[in-house]
Amino acid sequence: MTTEGTIEKKSQISAIRGMEDILPALARHYQFVEGQARELFDRYGYGEIRTPVLEPTELFARTVGDSSDIVVSKQMYTFTDPGERSNTMRPEGTAGVVRALIESGLLKETSQQKLFYVGPMFRYEKPQKGRQRQFTQIGMELFGVAHAAADAEVITMCYHLLRRVGFNDIVVKLNNLGDPGDRKGFNDRLREAILEVVASARESGKYAEWCEQWQDLAAINPMRVFDTKVEECRPYLSSLPRVVDYVGEEARNHFDVVTALLAQAGVPFEVDRELVRGLDYYTRTVFEIVQTGLGAQNAILGGGRYDNLVEELGGPPTPAVGMAIGVERLIMAMQAQGIKLPPSPPPAFYVLALDDESLPTAYRLAELARSSGQRVAFDCQPKSAKAGLRSANRSKAQIAVIVGADELSRGVAQWKNLESGEQIELLMAEIERNLKEG
Ligand code: HAM
C-alpha cells in the first residue's frame, strides 16, 4: 500500500524453472490418463498407496544407487530442515513405497502386495522438452512374486494402459540384466573394453569429448555407455561385450518365460540388448516404452525387476517388479500423435438472473437442478439478457432458464432452447419439475 492508500504495481512472480502450472485444459489430460490408469489397476487388483513427497535423504542414497543418474548428476533436491535433518524431495516413487511397506509391516502379513501410486517427483535436471524438474509419475509395484509371470503382468498392464489412452504402435523394449553376480563379471569385462576403445581412439587421433565421458562411466557405471546420445561414438558400441552373454542360466530361463507370457498376452515386444536403466536397483528384466514426437527424451515409461531392494532397506527378502510412467511425456506424445480426449459433456442448463432481485430464485433453481444430478452453468452475478445469452451460448448448454423481476412477480420463468432459439414462459412449478428431470 502507498501512503495514499492505493496499491502499488508489483512485479510478477514466475514459476521455478523446470516446474510448470497445469492449467484446466491440460489438467483434463491428466484426469483422463489417471482415470484410465485407475480403472485398469482396479481390474488387475492393484490398490493405491500414497507416500510423502519428502523422505530422509538416506533413503535415496541407499536405493537409487551411487552410480545412478540421479546421484551421479546431482539431481536430488536435498535440504536440511530446521531440525538439522537432511531431507530430499523424492526423485522417484519406488524407494518410498518400499520404505512404507517395511515400516508398516505389510510385507510380512501377506505373501504378495500389488500397489500403484500417482504423484509429483523432483529431479534437478537441465530442463528441456520432455524433461522437467517437477514431473508426474503413475507407477506400480508388485512385491513378493519371484515368478516371471509378475514381470509379464506389469509389462502387459503398461501395454494396455497405453492402448486405453489411444496409442496404436506400441513396442515394449526389453533386456535381461541378469543377477548381481552375473553383472559383476560383465561390468569388469565391459570396463576393460571401454578403456581399450578409448586407448585406440587416442592412438588413431580420434580422441574426443565422448572419450572422457566413457572413461568416467567406466569408473562409475560402465553399462551407461549404451545409453549414449553422442552419435560419433555409436559405431564403437558394437565392439563392446553385451550383458546377455554374461547372464546365468536361471536369469536366462526367467527372461524366456517373461517373453513367452508376453507373446501369450499378445503384447508386442522387442529384445534390445543395449537397453540399460538410469537407476541401479534393477536385476534381471528391465523394460522401456518409447514414443515418437518427444525429441531426445523419448521414454514414456520404464521399469523392471528389483529383487534386492527390500532387503537393502532392512526388510525381509522380497522379490519385486514395477514400473513408472512419466505423465507429462505421455501427454506430449498423445498430442504429437493427434490423440484426442473424449469431449466433456456440456451443462444441461444455463441459469440466468437478470437483476439482484431475481438472483436468489435463480440461485435456488441452479441448486435444485444440481442436487438432482444435472450439470448447471450459473455466473454468480446478474447479467443483462444480451450478455447473459452470450454467456449461455458459450457454455454450450441446451436450455437457458431466465428469471427477472417481472417473471418473479408473476411466478414464472423463461425456458429457452438455445439450439432452436425457441422461448416459452412456464410456471415456476413446471420449471422446477423440468430442472429436476433434466
Ligand atoms: P525412471 O525411468 O527414472 O524410472 O522414470 C520413469 C519415467 O518417468 C520415465 O520413463 C519418464 O517418462 C519419466 N521421467 C523421468 N524423469 C523425468 C523428468 N525429469 N521429466 C519428465 N519425465 C521424467 C523410475 O523412476 C522407477 N522408479 C520406475 C520403477 C518403478 N522401477 C521399478 N518400479
Close Cβ partners of 405 (under 8 Å, ≥ 6 residues apart): 354, 355, 357, 358
Ligand 1 atom with the shortest distance to the CA of 277: 2
Q: What's the pLDDT score for residue 330? A: 96
Question: 3-state class of 248 per DSSP?
Answer: coil
Close Cβ partners of 186 (under 8 Å, ≥ 6 residues apart): 178, 241, 243, 245, 246
Q: What is the mean pLDDT of residues 248-254?
A: 96
Ligand 1 atom with the shortest distance to the CA of 279: 3
Round to whole Å and give the CA distance between 125 and 131. Answer: 7
Residue 243 has what DSSP assignment? G
Per-residue pLDDT of 181-224, as tens digits, reads 888 888 899 999 999 998 988 888 888 888 888 888 888 888 88
User: Among all chains, which residue has been given the C-alpha cell 507416500?
Assistant: 51
Enter the C-alpha cell of residue 204.
588413431
From residue 196, how far is each of 200, 203, 214, 240, 377 by CA, in Å? Answer: 6, 11, 11, 10, 70
pLDDT over threshold 80, residue 297? no
- Tell how far the Cα of 126 is from the centroid of ligand 1, in angstroms: 15
Residue environment code for 411-428, b if the CB has 16+ CB neighbours within 10 A, otherwise e: ebbbbbebeeeeeeebeb
Distance linking the first and last C-alpha atoms of the chain: 50
Round to whole Å and give the CA distance between 94 and 284. Answer: 17
Render 147-191 in DSSP notation, one character per residue: SHHHHHHHHHHHHHHHHHTT-----EEEEE---HHHHHHHHHHHH
Best residue among 145, 175, 329 to mutate for probing ligand 1's pocket (most ligand atoms within 8 Å of CB) is 329
- Counting Cβ atoms within 10 Å, is residue 142 exposed (0-12), middle (13-18) or buried (19+)? buried
- Tell how far the Cα of 196 is from the centroid of ligand 1, in angstroms: 32
Ligand 1 atom with the shortest distance to the CA of 306: 32
- Tell how far the Cα of 56 is from the centroid of ligand 1, in angstroms: 20
Round to whole Å and give the CA distance between 98 and 95. Answer: 5
Q: Which residue, by CA, sits nearest to atom 13 of ligand 1? A: 326
Strands 320-326 and 376-378: unpaired
- Tell how far the Cα of 279 is from the centroid of ligand 1, in angstroms: 9
To the nearest 10 degrees (0 to 180), the angle between helices 359-371 and 428-437 is 30
pLDDT over threshold 80, residue 71? no
- Tell how far the Cα of 329 is from the centroid of ligand 1, in angstroms: 10
- Tell how far the Cα of 356 is from the centroid of ligand 1, in angstroms: 54
Q: Which residue, by CA, sits nearest to atom 30 of ligand 1? A: 323
- Tell how far the Cα of 111 is from the centroid of ligand 1, in angstroms: 27
pLDDT over threshold 70, residue 2? no
Round to whole Å and give the CA distance between 113 and 106. Answer: 8
Round to whole Å and give the CA distance between 286 and 97. Answer: 19
pLDDT over threshold 70, residue 229? yes
Q: What is the mean pLDDT of residues 415-424?
A: 97
| 393, 350 Cβ separation under 8 angstroms | no
Per-residue pLDDT of 314-332, as tens digits, reads 999 999 999 999 999 999 9
Best residue among 175, 279, 321, 325 to mutate for probing ligand 1's pocket (most ligand atoms within 8 Å of CB) is 279
| 120, 134 Cβ separation under 8 angstroms | yes
Average pLDDT value for the chain:
93
Q: What's the pLDDT score for residue 109? A: 66
Best residue among 92, 126, 305, 306 to mutate for probing ligand 1's pocket (most ligand atoms within 8 Å of CB) is 92
- Tell how far the Cα of 304 is from the centroid of ligand 1, in angstroms: 11
Q: What is the mean pLDDT of residues 306-321?
A: 95
Ligand 1 atom with the shortest distance to the CA of 325: 7
Q: Which residue, by CA, sits nearest to atom 2 of ligand 1? A: 302
Residue 438 has what DSSP assignment? -
Q: Which residue, by CA, sits nearest to atom 14 of ligand 1? A: 326
Q: Which residue, by CA, sits nearest to atom 22 of ligand 1? A: 326
1: pLDDT confidence band, cut at 50, 70 and 90? Answer: low
Question: 3-state class of 28 per DSSP?
Answer: helix
Q: Which residue, by CA, sits nearest to atom 17 of ligand 1? A: 131
Q: What's the pLDDT score for residue 5? A: 75
In percent, the amount of the chain with pLDDT more than 90 equals 76
Best residue among 70, 115, 135 to mutate for probing ligand 1's pocket (most ligand atoms within 8 Å of CB) is 135
| 418, 392 Cβ separation under 8 angstroms | yes
Higher pLDDT, 101 or 216: 101
- Tell how far the Cα of 327 is from the centroid of ligand 1, in angstroms: 10
Question: 3-state class of 3 per DSSP?
Answer: coil
Round to whole Å and give the CA distance between 249 and 408. Answer: 84
Q: What's the pLDDT score for residue 244? A: 87
Higher pLDDT, 170 or 73: 170
Round to whole Å and give the CA distance between 212 and 376. Answer: 64
Ligand 1 atom with the shortest distance to the CA of 125: 19
To which H or E segment does residue 355 belong? none
In percent, the amount of the chain with pLDDT more than 70 equals 98
- Tell how far the Cα of 92 is from the centroid of ligand 1, in angstroms: 7
Q: What's the pLDDT score for residue 285? A: 97
pLDDT over threshold 90, residue 231? no
Residue environment code for 89-128, b if the CB has 16+ CB neighbours within 10 A, otherwise e: bbbbbbbbbbbbbbeeeebeeeeebbbbbbbebbbbbeee
Query: pTM for the complete prediction?
Result: 0.91
Find, among 372, 361, 374, the residue nearest to 411 by Cα: 361
Close Cβ partners of 236 (under 8 Å, ≥ 6 residues apart): 197, 201
Q: Which residue, by CA, sits nearest to atom 21 of ligand 1? A: 131
Ligand 1 atom with the shortest distance to the CA of 93: 27
Q: What's the pLDDT score for residue 3? A: 65
Per-residue pLDDT of 372-399, as tens digits, reads 999 999 999 999 999 999 999 999 999 9
Round to whole Å and give the CA distance between 312 and 63. Answer: 7
- Tell how far the Cα of 276 is from the centroid of ligand 1, in angstroms: 13
Q: What's the pLDDT score for residue 29? A: 97
> CB within 6 Å of ligand 1 — which residues?
92-94, 123, 125, 131-132, 135, 137, 139, 141, 278-279, 299-304, 306, 322-324, 326, 328-329
| 262, 172 Cβ separation under 8 angstroms | yes
Find, among 381, 349, 354, the residue nearest to 366 by Cα: 349
| 63, 94 Cβ separation under 8 angstroms | yes
Which of 84-88, 149-153, 243-247, 423-427 has the weakest average pLDDT?
243-247
User: Among all chains, which residue has been given the C-alpha cell 512374486?
Assistant: 145
Find, among 173, 174, 186, 51, the residue nearest to 120 by Cα: 51
